[in-house]
Structure 1
Amino acid sequence: MPRIPPRSILILHPILRLLPPQYDSLIALESVCVIDNGETMLVEGLRVAPQERGKGVAGVLLRFCCELVKSKYPEVKVTRLTRDDQLGPKDFQKYRLITKQGILLVRFRAEDLKLRLSELGLAGDIQSSLSISSSNPPPVRLDHTAIHRLYLTTDLMQGVLPNATIIQDWQPFKPMPSNMAILLKKDIDWMVDDVANPTVASLCTFPFRVPIGDDWYYLNIDMFGKDLDLARQQFLYHLQRHTTTLKGHVMCQMFLDPPLWKPMAEFCNNTLSVELVKEYTEQCVVESDVV
């Protein structure tokens, strides 16, 4: 489950008093955090027992959480959530689509990828390697001062971010100081192709262990922009920076502009020789008004 930012409410209990008797063994979980200067309720971590899915339980829990949050934060105006299932007509009757990204999930052994990057001439000093292997200058890692300038005090990111939304590890934020305070507490690499005129930007988590076997790690990369070459360049930088010291298996999940999914998947398979875990899926950010 994702880490829960400040001003959050975590609900973990049977919601028996809200449901008919046939749900007497249900356990449900949901976390909610208040963002966007208190105007948005971000819903995360919604879980329902497998045997009860598709029976309306999630809707009951969402309504319960909405009422609870409104009682504590009456200034909340919008409910926002991020989904990776197929949205249908009924969903669009309830929600507005804010933006969507393609989800590219690959896996590999860190040692194998390190060898492959070396064969491609991309080992060692990745900045110099990318300069030599590409006509574009190497990407730039941002410090906190540069992040504030690009995302908060200029409009340079307006054409890069999908619908003016920073999405980091399934959490969608508007670029405003209160949200940036949350994001900057996280251990993330921020990157752009050009600090003066950015075309592609990316946010990458540091590898974290996952309990699916010995020496398994997860790496999340949120990629913004529509230039394939620049996106590949930043993807390579993140891979080289965050996996060369690892030993074991890595699941790497990248979110990117939908038209870039297929060529990036082909690049991963044909050039990097990493395994594609699943075919195209989408990450959709949706919201509805709180009434």
Structure 2
Amino acid sequence: MGSDFTFREATISDYHDVMAIGEVYNGVDYLPSRYEDMMRSHNHTGYVSVVNGEIVAFVAACIVDNGETLVTRAGRVNDKYRGQGVYGSLLRFARKQIAAVGGVKYEAFTTLSKNFEENKDKIKAVYTEILIKNAMYYRSRFKIKDFKALPNDLNTMPTLLQKADLENIFSSDATCKHLFKSNRIVCGWVPFRLLSSNIDYILKPDTLLLASCRHDRSNNDVIYTCLTAGMHTPCKLGLVYSIDIFGGDVSEVRHHIQVHAKNLQSVADDRECAVTVMWEDNLLPADVESILNGVDMAEPTRAQAGKLYLLEKQFQ
């Protein structure tokens, strides 16, 4: 990489130049709608690489877990500068700035199958694999007018969670062990340890957090046996709605998906939607696809399946 590259913190006024780096995520990029909030947030800092006055790379550094974990997000490089070490140099610059502040012990990121498989050897040489989740992707104009009501089973109907509820869950070892096998909750692609200091980052205005308990199969120490988080974000396509599933069986998850579908209907305004669903090994992909097919979709694309990987290493 040439010496004409410089690095600095991003500002809100860099918005258009950062977006001009190039199209990413096939029309479902969340950064355009979240950039300003991220730059104003006390736990996010953006960094850019500049060459000849042009911003050619960006990454957001998100600090969670009581200040102990750096999560890198929304990384991107202009196609003209790929393969030249620009992004790696930008990450090293960001780490240096963060190290100067102190307190960070871990560095983590999430990625999908394609990127992981293409860079597996390089990633696994540095990072530890913490979690693998199944991922399913739909793209459609959702129509939920014909959605059939499910039986009113009070044992499986989900309830809306508030901050105090999540604090109770994180304080319950039995519930955490049941729901979060890796001692992490991943919401909207961001991994969090099960700490009360993370709750305000999880419970955002655009996030619907639901929980239910099947009393017939839970012990007295488990507060909830299924938890789901749905987050909606405007994007170039229209709207992306991400559903993260923790625990649960087919019956429980079906009720949760019904509530998320109604929420999606209320925010979609007939826009085209991309819906991603992520879960661990408690459900089969065929089960999830069957549940999603219960939502009447107008000419949906075929579901695409993959994996979400959570990788972490010691911060250096």
TM over 0.5: yes
TM-score category, normalised to shorter length: 0.7 to 0.9
Partner residue of 2:145 out of 115, 125, 131: 115
Give the % identical residues: 18
CA distance in 1, matches of 2:69, 2:209: 24
Q: Any idea what the Cα deviations from partners look like across 1:238-259, whole Å, max 9, x if unmatched?
A: 1123315643122212111255
Deviation, 1:154, is 4.9
In the TM superposition, residue 105 of structure 1 has moved relative to its aligned partner by 1.5
Q: How far does residue 116 in structure 1 lie from its aligned partner after superposition? A: 3.0
| Regions of 4+ moved over 6 Å | 23-26
Q: Is residue 257–residue 291 contact of structure 2 (8 Å, CA) maintained in 1?
A: no
Match of 1:86 in 2: 116
Q: 1:13 to 1:237 in 2, by over 3 A?
A: same
The answer to whether structure 1 residue 148 and structure 2 residue 167 are counterparts is: yes
Q: For residues 154-197 of structure 1, what are the alpha-carbon distances to aligned partners after superposition, in whole Å with 9 as ceiling and x for unaligned?
A: 54122211401111101100011221132234432211122954
Unaligned 5+ segments in structure 2 are 1-30, 215-221
CA distance change for structure 1 residues 250 and 29 in 2, over 3 Å: closer, same or farther? same
Q: How does 1:147-186 map to 2 (within 5 A)?
A: 147-152=166-171, 154-186=173-205
Q: Does 1:137 align with 2:156?
A: yes
Residue 125 (structure 1) aligns with: none
Q: SS of the counterpart of 1:131?
A: coil
Structure 1 residue 55, shift from structure 2 partner? 4.1
Aligned to 1:240: 262
Look up the SS of the partner of 2:224 in the other structure. coil
Is residue 2:136 matched to residue 1:104? yes
Single out whichever of 157-166 and 29-38 deviates more from structure 2.
Answer: 157-166
The alignment's C-alpha RMSD in Å is: 2.6
Deviation string 1:196-241 (CA, Å, 9 cap, x unpaired) is 5422211112x443233xxx22212111125233222211221123
Shift of 1:24: 9.2
Greater shift in the superposed pair: 276-285 or 39-48: 276-285
- The residue aligned with 1:231 is 253
SS at match of 2:292: helix
Unaligned runs of 5+ in 1: 17-22, 123-128
The count of aligned residue pairs is 265
Q: In structure 2, what is the equivalent of residue 199 of structure 1?
A: 225
Moved more, 139-148 or 257-266: 257-266
Question: TM-score by structure 2 length?
Answer: 0.74
Q: TM-score, normalised by structure 1?
A: 0.80
Aligned-partner SS, 1:157: helix
SS at match of 2:157: coil
Q: Which residue is 1:20 aligned to?
A: none
